[in-house]
Amino acid sequence: MGSNAETRRSGCPISCSLDLLGDKWSLLIVRDMVMLRKHYFKEFLASAEGIATNILTDRLNRLEGSGIISKQPDPENRRQIVYTLTEKGVALIPVLVELMSWGKIYAGTTSVDRDKARRMQQDRRYKQRVIRELTEGCTSTPGRS
Amino acid sequence: MGSNAETRRSGCPISCSLDLLGDKWSLLIVRDMVMLRKHYFKEFLASAEGIATNILTDRLNRLEGSGIISKQPDPENRRQIVYTLTEKGVALIPVLVELMSWGKIYAGTTSVDRDKARRMQQDRRYKQRVIRELTEGCTSTPGRS
DNA sequence: CTCCACCACTTGCAAAAAGCAAGTGGTGGG
DNA sequence: CCCACCACTTGCTTTTTGCAAGTGGTGGAG
């Protein structure tokens, strides 16, 4: 299940991105790493959306295979594996932020978030600050739970 | 196949967005409308990625069901249907632009595009101009064959 | 050392979705 | 009336997802 035979449907960069990320789980894992600072299998498993273990394994392998994340044995606890974002993965933060912004306004439930999101859409500097903060948080060392 | 029983996996706005758009085709249809100015079933069908007719029908119905696109009979030719983006759909342009930018740098093939994309990542004004131009092109009337 | 909890997976199977090719009803021009 | 064309349907096979149970490897407690 976890093998890697990615075939590109076309040369279009959007299509290429979707070939790697176009499903319901891959970007959620990246979200977990970026927004919730998760680094461990069991942490992803505990997320609200309820991913199954076999799907999680598969997605982690694919994301590693396409160079978005890297997996290493945890130096502090050799029983577990640390998943971290690569530069390629960190570069997905703007995508995540736009998806979040859109979702808050157009796919969400609460109106509080909506207003905050609308503000972010108009105030580009604010958005840039959010992206920068998230990026810095990801390029620094984990710092653990 | 085209019914609408979207269940939300969680309240997270990113998750909500992916509930609506998290597959390999939905955003490609939006791309066709935004970037390639396509408005007709047969046009989407002719895209390089090669979507099947039943999948296309399903995605168009879902996108309509979630208010991202609207379908109307073509006033100029009653044999065909015009698909247009709603405000909610137009608001996806930034997501598309980020996906394109990321794809060009990290998932693409050519290095020419890569350089242009890197420039866009550094020059925020340029990116904003791209987004504005695309948005304007979408909110104006089709003007087609 | 043994035992045991815990970790990241596997495996097996059923259900859902995608993909393919062929067919269908409605429309308008010739 | 006929025919080409449009946006779909339908039937079928293949692939992916989802769920539950199981597995091998590790390290700490006793």
The band of B110, judged by pLDDT with boundaries at 50, 70 and 90, is low
Q: If you ran DSSP here, which 8-state letter would residue B121 be given?
A: H
pLDDT in tens, A103-144: 999 987 666 677 777 877 788 888 888 899 899 888 765 544
pLDDT computed for residue B127 by the predictor:
87
pLDDT computed for residue B93 by the predictor:
96
Q: Is B31 on the interface with A (CB under 8 A)?
A: yes
Selection from A44, A48, A72 nearest residue A58 by Cα: A44
The band of B86, judged by pLDDT with boundaries at 50, 70 and 90, is very high
Query: Measured between alpha carbons, how far is A1 from B39 in angstroms, rounded to an integer?
Result: 38
Q: How far is CA B101 from CA A9, A38, A76, in A?
A: 18, 26, 37
* Cβ A84 vs Cβ A129: under 8 Å: no
- What is the mean predicted confidence (pLDDT) over B44-56? 98
pLDDT computed for residue A116 by the predictor:
75
Would the Cβ of B79 be found within 7 angstroms of any atom in strand C? yes
> pLDDT averaged over chain B?
89
Please tell me the least confidently modeled range out of A62-66, A121-125, B54-58.
A121-125
The band of B24, judged by pLDDT with boundaries at 50, 70 and 90, is very high
Within chain B, residue ranges assigned H as helices are: 13-21, 26-35, 41-45, 53-65, 87-90, 93-102, 111-122, 124-139
- What is the mean predicted confidence (pLDDT) over B105-121? 76
Instruction: Identify all chain B residues contacting A31, using CB atoms and an 8 Å cutoff.
Output: 12, 14-15
Would the Cβ of A70 be found within 7 angstroms of any atom in strand C? no
Percent of chain A with pLDDT over 90: 66
> pLDDT averaged over chain A?
89
Q: Is A43 on the interface with B (CB under 8 A)?
A: no
pLDDT computed for residue A4 by the predictor:
47
Query: Measured between alpha carbons, how far is B28 from B21 in angstroms, rounded to an integer?
Result: 10
- What is the mean predicted confidence (pLDDT) over B67-93? 94
Residues of chain A with CATH 1.10.10.10: 12-86
> Tell me: domain B13-88, CATH 1.10.10.10, correct?
yes
More confident residue, A69 or B140: A69
Q: Is A134 on the interface with B (CB under 8 A)?
A: no
Matching residue, tokens 């998230």:
A134
The band of B100, judged by pLDDT with boundaries at 50, 70 and 90, is very high
Please tell me the CATH code under which domain A12-86 is placed: 1.10.10.10
